[in-house]
Amino acid sequence: MEYMLLFNQPASELERRRDDPSSVEYWEAWRAYMQTIYAAGIVRAGNELQPPYTATTVRVRSGERAVHDGPFADTKELLGGYLIIDVPSLDEALRWAARSPSSATGSTEIRPILPRNNAS
């Protein structure tokens, strides 16, 4: 079954992505995690996202479109990236999520992917 792992981190952690001396541990943890999960052969897709300030949010209320710069940030954690993995069970997805560096500083959300409808 396919699951999406959504890596949510505090803004302070996402700032560590920049190429400076304080980011070495951040990147080492993520490199180790990604090497391990890809080596397991379960990754189907995934990407790191641009920083949250590059986001644009759209809402439609009463037929009117409102566009805002930045993410909807009524949260202490921001989405930094995602993977889609194919594992036999939710328990296995939970094990992989717990190993993510984002689980130690923020959270990793796991969502089942809806099966594709093969009807024509």
List own/partner pairs for 31-40 with CB under 8 A and 24 or more apart.
33/99, 33/100, 33/101, 36/99, 37/83, 37/85, 37/96, 37/99
Q: Which domains does the chain have, with CATH numbers?
A: 2-112 (3.30.70.1060)
pLDDT at position 54, please? Answer: 83
pLDDT digits (tens), the chain, 120 positions: 999 999 988 877 777 777 677 788 888 999 999 999 999 999 999 988 887 778 888 888 999 998 887 666 566 778 889 999 999 999 999 999 999 999 998 999 999 999 887 654
Q: What is the pLDDT of residue 50?
A: 83
